[in-house]
Amino acid sequence: MSPLLEVSELSSGYGDFQALYDLSITVNEGETLAVIGANGAGKTTLLRAITGLVPTWSGTVRFDGQNLLPVPAHKRVAEGITMVPEGRLLFPSLNVRENLLVGGHGRRPGPWTVERVVEVFPLLAPLLGRASSVLSGGEQQAVAIGRALMANPRLILLDEVSLGLAPVVVRQLYAALPEITAHGATALVVEQDIGQAMAVADQVVCLLEGRVSLEGPSAGLERADITAAYFGMGHRLEAGEEGDRG
């Protein structure tokens, strides 16, 4: 398997606040990578750096061998990188169908259409004409995932899909993941829910305070090691880093 995404020694952050410290991860084509970690570990910043929404301070991001740093955020979609943002962030002025269609704005060729998204998420079928703001959280998340798929991605970044949703809904949404990857997309999943992450992923990376604290195949990791890496036990906890930026 060839690496689809190679992040090496990436440092990034917001203003004066550094969120990532020389972080390196690799995602192989066809593999699902889960990035786990506590609040403020740098998970969301990592995704936003990959999509180009936050600037890269140092280090490189390579996608299919190509250096992404000179590519602005809106052009990275055309390369095949798409993201389901944390909090879903549907467009309230657009109805469900339009939200899906706007995901395909770049007209990148591929298998995904509104009809195919509805096949994967049948709950959306009666909702296509509705305003996105009146949907339940789970329905909104399905639209957000569908919207990302409409870009016909090679790499789909899923940020906290489970956030604020009932466990049964989360399981339904994740049940669609094999079908998504079967259509040729590689998934990078950010989760706080370790159990969910381990269940769907081939590889797991744990972040702690902007650095990789543990990585390996999900089948081979011990629960105790993950807990230690997640909370930084065994390391001396440095004070100061807290916040919503995951």
Q: Which of 142, 191, 154 is nearest to 34 (CA)?
A: 191
- Binding status of residue 156 toward another protein by CB under 8 A: no
- Binding status of residue 167 toward another protein by CB under 8 A: no
- Binding status of residue 147 toward another protein by CB under 8 A: yes
- Binding status of residue 68 toward another protein by CB under 8 A: no
Q: Taking contact as CB under 8 A, which single stretch among the options 11-19, 45-53, 119-127, 221-229 is the one that binds another protein?
A: 45-53
For residues 87 and 137, which CB has a smaller minimum distance to another protein in the complex? 87
Q: How far apart are the C-alpha atoms of 178 and 185, rounded to whole Å?
A: 10
Applying CB under 8 A, the site for another protein has a residue count of 26
- Binding status of residue 102 toward another protein by CB under 8 A: yes
Q: Which of 11, 9, 10, 26 is nearest to 186 (CA)?
A: 26
* Helix (H) / strand (E) containing 140: helix 137-149
* Min CB(92)–another protein separation in Å: 6
> Which residues are bridge partners to 81 per DSSP?
155
Q: How far apart are the C-alpha atoms of 42 and 17, rounded to whole Å?
A: 11
Burial of 92 (0-12, 13-18, 19+ CB in 10 A): exposed
- Binding status of residue 66 toward another protein by CB under 8 A: no
- Binding status of residue 140 toward another protein by CB under 8 A: no
- Binding status of residue 69 toward another protein by CB under 8 A: no
- Binding status of residue 131 toward another protein by CB under 8 A: no
